[in-house]
Amino acid sequence: MKYNFLGTTGIKVSELCLGTMTFGGNTGIWSAIGNLEQQEVDNIIKRSVDAGINFIDTANVYSQGLSEELTGKTIRNLGLKRDDLVIATKVRGKMGEGVNDIGLSRKHIMQQVDESLKRLNIDYIDLYQIHASMH
């Protein structure tokens, strides 16, 4: 596996990043995108890490947080060392019915970083991104 620096952070990430949008798929559009369950998620992440991938990308909206939960559980199931992984997640999408449960307000960002940390069951996020399309 080849590794490159993530911008000017000094962190080295694998050239391949494992995306987790297909993890969960419990409702709505997510069921059409993918509905991988825990055992399948464990197998995919194990194969990826064994191949040298250290960069895992998820998002709070993927299956309304289930993708983050499955990813975090796999890290524990496999006994992976947190410091060996670079975990990225995203914020912006609708995560509830309240008027402030969407967007890029400080309130929503701070609430969602806390919720993502809980779902992933980790102490820190390496890369926190704005989830936006380019059109």
* Catalytic (active-site) positions: 62
Between the alpha carbon of residue 74 and those of residues 77, 91, 96, 117, the distances in Å are 5, 22, 25, 15
- 76 membership: H or E segment, kind and range: helix 66-77
Measure the CA–CA gap between 80 and 124, rounded to whole angstroms: 15
How many CB atoms are located within 10 Å of the residue 128 CB?
15
CB 80 within 8 A of CB 49: yes
Structural tokens at position 113: 């970083």
Chain centre distance of CA 76: 15
- The interaxial angle of helices 38-50 and 66-77, nearest 10 deg, is 60
